[in-house]
Chain A
């Protein structure tokens, strides 16, 4: 699975959009970009995933660049409950293998 690079920490004002970047320059054509988050010591929570096209669900939007070497997770209106560590994971779909969680980005939403 391709390696990802994320900033270690970010702040965002409550009510504003949180834009979390992820670099995955060695991504292969059959690898998906997944985003999870972990709120202090709770189980990782699935947010969204995509292959090539931008994706949106009730939690967030995922923007993948045309060359697929980077992506951005967007939380449109951040709330205090969005304070968490966010993990960007690149992985071949349907392998049954583990998800490799790196160190992620610690997002703090500020009142």
Chain B
């Protein structure tokens, strides 16, 4: 079984709809992240969380919100989806091991906003 799972894997929605993307992990990590990737571009950080009570904005948080329901679960919401939020979304987790915090990524969610 995969250590980091994302649901749904694909989603098509319409402008103005509320969408939630979910991420679960079995790695026992405290830190979780949401990134988006656009064609030809690198990954950009949306939000990150170091533990259940900690939420931090990343590089591109406008239009998004998150919820850390438990150590193992981190959800990303688009309150009112718009077409330029069409992208690949990746969840990642990390723990601290030997002074580094290598991040491990989920399989991604392909979101299309029409």
Contacts and interface: CB of A to CB of B under 8 A. Distances in A.
A45 B101 contact: no
Contacts of A100: 42
Contact of B59 (A98, A101, A103): A98
Contacts of B59: 98
Contacts of B90: 43-44
Interface stretch (B14-22, B43-51, B62-70, B73-81): B43-51
Interface residues of B, number: 28
Which label, helix, strand, loop or mixed, suits the secondary structure of the A interface?
Answer: loop
Interface in A20-43: 32, 34, 41-43
Contacts of A111: none
B29 to A, nearest CB: 11
Nearest to A87: B42
Given A41-B110, A43-B105, A98 B48 contact: yes
B114 interface: no
B108 A99 contact: no
B113 interface: no
Interface string A69-107: 000000000000000000000000111101111110000
A20 to B, nearest CB: 17
A86 B103 CA distance: 15
A110 B57 CA distance: 42
20 contacts: A41-B88, A41-B108, A41-B110, A42-B107, A43-B4, A43-B90, A43-B106, A43-B108, A44-B90, A44-B105, A46-B103, A46-B105, A49-B100, A93-B99, A93-B101, A94-B100, A96-B101, A98-B44, A99-B103, A101-B42
